[in-house]
Structure 1
Amino acid sequence: MSLSAPASVRRPNRAPASAQDTIQMTPLARPLTAPPAPEGSTKSLLAKESDPSTTDVPTNVSTRSDPTQALTTCGSGPNDPTPQEIAENPWKYGVYLIAALLFAVIAGYPQFSRWVASDQAWFITRRFSTLNARIILLLQDRIVELEDKLNEHDEFHSQSKEVMQDLDYTHNGSFRLDRESKRTEVLEDLVNAVSQYNAFVNEYAQLASRPSVRKDDVKAVRKWLANHKYAIDDLEAAYINEEHDDDLIPVHPKPQSWFRKVLEKTPILRHRPLRRFLTREPCDPLIRKKEGGKTVWHNDKRVEWLSAVVIGMVGLGMLI
């Protein structure tokens, strides 16, 4: 005999039709968006940083097609960070650091070489005075050693026949009869040594006679390297440092009148009316595009013409 469960605890085999239909017709609804996190919480801060509309990176960076522009225009725009801000907050301005590395790869020596060649005043190298002097002294000493050997052979072969006895007697007045002797070998070594010495001394004499480089031109090269910090390795750019000021020379010195040097030290050439007239665009279009107004190229002919005009006017004024 089986007992049936009380009605209060009996489980129905099937839910009521109305309840079952309600479950089937109404699926479990999930909210499309999470409720807003409390202001100031970690979740709200992360959501704010991931939102492009609220990010701290300037909006003009994301619209640039060329990532290297983030470096070349760094600090020039109203919202662009300064290099100091980038160094102190790399997590915030990562795009600028990436752009700096890209610019270093793209620029480098190709860009630096184009810029240096765009004006002969900036083509500056070292004279290496100490090294040249040491090499010349080395070549000189080698010649001295060979000279001593030659003198020994001359003294030996200049002895009388009685002293020489059975030794082969060499005629000092004939190269043809002396071709197989050691003295001729020394002379052949001297030909190469003296030739190398003369060529080296003459080449260095040309370097030593070059005028000293102008301080303004050295500052221009240092400024370019400072503006393009990642372009050239620091060790390789050290040739232009202050410790080598006395050793720097221009590859092709630019002739300048004394009055032009005076004009360049005055603010006259920097006034807008004259600046456009006295400047020029570089011949290389890539330099013109990359520099973007950071470098000013003087028109040498017009500057010299202005110098001559001013000198002439001053001379006429003194005569009157």
Structure 2
Amino acid sequence: MALPVPVTAGLPFSLGNAAPVVPGRATSPDPVDDKRKNEQTWKYQGYNEFSKWMASDDDFFVLRRFGKLNALAILWLQYRIVNIEDELEAIHETIADAALETGRKNSSFKADEKQEVRRAKLMGDLKGELLTVVDEYITTYSTIRARRRASTRQIANVKNWATRKAVTTNEMRYLNHPGDLISISDRPRPVIHALLNNRLLRKSPIFRKRRYEDTHIDSESTSYASNNRLEAFSNSSIIFLGFGMLLGPMWWLNFVTNNTKRLSIITGFVLLSMVIMSLATVNRPLEVVAATAAYAAVLTVFMQLGAN
């Protein structure tokens, strides 16, 4: 008699191709392609990608200083302190006008703990909360207030990123207050550095910054430039320009014999030197004038030597 065989025709799948099911592990959906990620940025990128992009470069880190709200908070704290000040002054005047038999006095904090409980409480409020808070608040905000405003290029960088709709548009409204936006980087740079730091140079391979996977965003629309290389290029340009400003007029004066023309050459180069130093350095005006005076003295001495 033949043995019965297993019946498999009614199974919805082949036993040989069945994938093992691990208890407690959810089945993963199909991998998300890049196209879907770019179309649904609000789902796959969001604030996580925005914060990473913003932290990847100083030119992207733009925030509001909330000048109006900070001023409002400081005024409110000041209002509370002024009220306490007025009340303390009134208590002092009341005690000064009181009869000696009452035993009230303005000369002892120890006595205030028993006799002038209200004044002791007001002093505790000042010392323990208000004065400390307002002093720290003003000190902290003055540091923020001193930071330079974000440049037009920096604001445009963030606005350009916001067009991908990864963050809710309503929550990007802080970019609509350009006068209140500050850059996280407070390093002063000369005007000539800002002129050289344009889009063409930033995208040049020479000035490209080394990328780090855990820090930088891998995107065709985002380019990172090395500030150190840009500053080195800027400083080198200034040095070569300085050599030209020194040697150029000397050789020119050597071929000119008329004193009026020689003086005109010196005047032109002195004015040009002042303009260049104002654009190429972060010195104060007095320091620029002093450096220009030294430069003019050198050219004047050379003019006298040439005349002799």
CA distance in 1, matches of 2:222, 2:208: 10
The answer as to whether partners of 1:121 and 1:217 remain within 8 angstroms in 2 is: yes
Gapped regions of structure 2 (runs ≥ 5): 1-29, 248-308
Is residue 2:191 matched to residue 1:258? yes
RMSD, aligned CA: 2.2
2:178 equivalent in structure 1: 245
Cα distance, 1:121 vs structure 2: 2.1
Match of residue 109 from structure 2 = 175
Aligned match of 1:126: 64
Pick the aligned partner of 1:159 from 97, 105, 110.
97
**Pairing of 1:1-320 with structure 2 (within 5 A):** 66-70=32-36, 72=38, 100-101=39-40, 103-161=41-99, 165=101, 168-180=102-114, 181=116, 182-191=118-127, 192-226=129-163, 228-229=164-165, 231-241=166-176, 244-265=177-198, 267-270=200-203, 275-285=204-214, 287-289=216-218, 291=219, 293-320=220-247
- Runs of 4+ in structure 1 deviating by more than 6 angstroms, as ranges, are none
- Give the CA deviation at 1:264: 2.2
- SS, match of residue 249 in structure 1: strand
Secondary structure in structure 2 of the residue aligned to 1:172: coil
Deviation track 1:148-168 (CA, whole Å, cap 9, x = no partner) reads 111111111112535xx5xx4
Q: Is residue 56–residue 215 contact of structure 2 (8 Å, CA) maintained in 1?
A: no
The Cα offsets for residues 167-193 of structure 1, whole Å up to 9 and x where unpaired, read as: x42232111122122211111122222
SS in 1 for 2:138: helix
Write the letter of the residue equivalent to 1:251: I
Distance change in 2, residues 1:189/1:288 (3 Å): closer
Identity across the alignment (%): 27
The residue that corresponds to 1:47 in the other structure is none
Task: Summarize the Cα distance change of 1:146–1:219 in structure 2 as closer, same or farther, 3 Å threshold.
Answer: same
Rate the CA distance shift 1:198–1:288 in 2: closer, same or farther, 3 A. Answer: closer
1:121·1:253 contact (CA, 8 Å) conserved in 2? no
Letter of the 1:295 partner, please give it. Answer: T
- Range moving further from structure 2, 208-217 or 254-263: 254-263
Distance in 1 separating the partners of 2:172 and 2:201: 32
Q: Which has the higher helix share?
A: 2
Structure 1 residue runs of 5 or longer lacking an equivalent are 1-63, 73-99
Q: Is the 8 A contact 1:210 1:250 kept in 2?
A: yes
In 1, Cα distance between the equivalents of 2:88 and 2:231?
A: 58
Aligned counterparts of 2:112 and 2:238: Cα–Cα separation in 1: 70
Which of these two proteins has the greater Rg computed from alpha carbons?
1
Matched length? 215
1:248 aligned partner, one-letter code: L
Name the SS for the 1:158 alignment partner. Answer: helix
TM-score normalised to the size of structure 1? 0.62
Q: Give the alignment's TM-score, normalised by structure 2.
A: 0.64
Q: Tell me the CA shift for residue 238 of structure 1.
A: 1.0
